[in-house]
Amino acid sequence: MGDGRLFSGRQWLRVVVTGGGTGGHVYPALSITEALTEELVAKGNGNEARHTAVDFLYVGGRNGLEEGIVSHAGLKFKAVSSGAVRGKTPWQAIAAVWRVGQGYAQSKRIIEAYCPAVVLATGGYVCVPVVLAARAQGVPVVVCLPDVEPGWAVWLISRLAKYIAVSTEEARRHLPAKKVVVTGYPARSSLGKLSRSEGRRVFGLDEGSPVVLVLGGSRGARSINDAVVGALPSLLTQAQVIHVCGTGELSRVRGQIGDLPPELRARYVLRPYLEDDLDAAFTSADLCVSRAGASVLGEYPIFGLPSVLVPYPFAGAPQERNADFMVRAGAAVKLADRELHRLAPLVEEILRDRARLSDMALHCKKLARPEAATSVAALLRKCAEQKGILD
């Protein structure tokens, strides 16, 4: 039944999903699986006697953050070995290639046992062995590039893809153009459901003062955390702050804010990570300070959320290009990591200029592509139809 044959009066569609390393590779994948399920299961496929059931298997890296995220979402998970080659020393690269070979053998066994109709890959080096194994067995691949510019792994596997879904038109020039479909960034459907007042109540914030949201990413961003903590005595006189510092940074940041006066401490919310309250944080905020991972392209536009983007200096081109795209659109200001000493005056300057803030919000909102996940899901369904698995 695994390849789509009939079972108990139903058609079954099995999909392998792969992507990892950061939440920016995992969350778009989950958005797409949700959209495909909604299309084929909740709405049906136009044939009541052969209603489609969808089954997903997520293949991620060993000891990666993706396993926890995926398990929380209720998907099955299997881990394979892999490793980054680019930017490594010769000995590190050799070891990484060996791990990729191990991951290929592991992925081959998984795909042989699971019999997917299609593979969805969203980036991260764990995708490489999975996609290689899929193509060796004739399974079509849909690659989803969340960023403006592909990293090495996506650049490589895109050569093996049937379709490449991209967030922006600018991405086309980096990839096999005939395979590219511009869908937008597949943002989470759970976002954008709350009003501003509802969001602020979640964090105990008042509605009369602006809110700055600081996102350090799933792993935390030490340089941003340090800059924000240093700015708090001044910044909290002008705004309330939701500071998401990362799970690995929580105890260190807590130790640094102990001297805040009670009246300022009441305007400050510290969280290690946001899962269920992310929607509340976004809808509460007037301005966001964050890295420039791929989510800025799709999640910030849902809320029309202006931002100060600080690209991670060791992430290579993707974060720089994401930030540049948002700046050109008029939705963000870019600040280099080495210039974080300028963060406090820059944020305060933007907050004081309400016309500028409103203009940035308007330009950001124009970038929203709420149909993106559904568009990528349609490519997965198309692959299954071309194989004769779906009617």
pLDDT of 65 reads 81
The CATH class for the domain spanning 6-187+370-386 reads alpha beta
Half-sphere exposure (Cβ direction) of 66: Cα atoms closer than 13 Å: 32
Determine the Cα–Cα distance for residues 124 and 293; give it in Å rounded to an integer: 13
DSSP 209: S
CB 295 within 8 A of CB 118: no
Q: How far is 181 from 129, CA to CA, in rounded Å? A: 24
From first to last of the 391 residues of the chain, give the pLDDT tens digit. Answer: 445 454 444 568 999 999 987 777 899 999 999 999 988 876 555 555 445 788 999 999 887 788 888 988 899 999 998 877 665 666 766 776 778 889 899 999 999 999 999 999 999 889 999 999 999 999 999 999 999 999 888 999 999 999 999 999 999 999 999 999 999 999 988 899 999 999 999 999 999 899 999 997 666 688 999 999 999 999 999 999 999 998 888 889 999 998 899 999 999 999 998 878 999 999 999 999 999 998 999 999 999 999 999 998 876 678 999 999 999 999 999 999 999 999 999 999 999 999 999 999 999 999 999 999 999 999 999 999 887 776 6
Sorted by sequence, the CB contacts under 8 Å of residue 273 that are 6+ apart come out as 218, 244, 246, 247
Question: Does 196-365 match 6-187+370-386 at the fold level?
Answer: yes
CA dist 314 and 297 (Å) reads 20
Distance in angstroms (rounded) separating the CA atoms of residues 253 and 243: 10
SS3 at position 310? coil
Domain range annotation of the chain: 6-187+370-386, 196-365
**Alpha carbons 94 and 198: distance in angstroms, whole number:** 52
Give the separation between CA 278 and CA 390, rounded to whole angstroms. Answer: 36
Distance CA 202, CA 356 (A): 28
Would you say 123 and 25 are in contact if contact means Cβ atoms under 8 Å apart? yes
| Selection from 120, 103, 102 nearest residue 17 by Cα | 120
> Helix, strand, coil proportions of the chain in percent (round to 5)?
50, 15, 35
CA atoms in the 13 A half-sphere facing the CB of 256: 17
228 CB neighbour count, 10 Å cutoff: 26
DSSP state of 20: -
- Which three-class secondary structure string do you get for 243-271? EECCHHHHHHHHHHCCCCCHHHHCCEEEE
φ, ψ of residue 146 to 5 degrees: the values are -70, -35
Which pLDDT belongs to residue 49? 43
Q: Residue 324: phi, psi to the nearest 5?
A: -60, -40
AA identity, residue 170: E
Contacts of 195 (CB under 8 A, 6+ apart): 283
Which pLDDT does position 253 carry in this prediction?
A: 92
Q: Superfamily assignment of 196-365 in CATH? A: Glycogen Phosphorylase B; (3.40.50.2000)
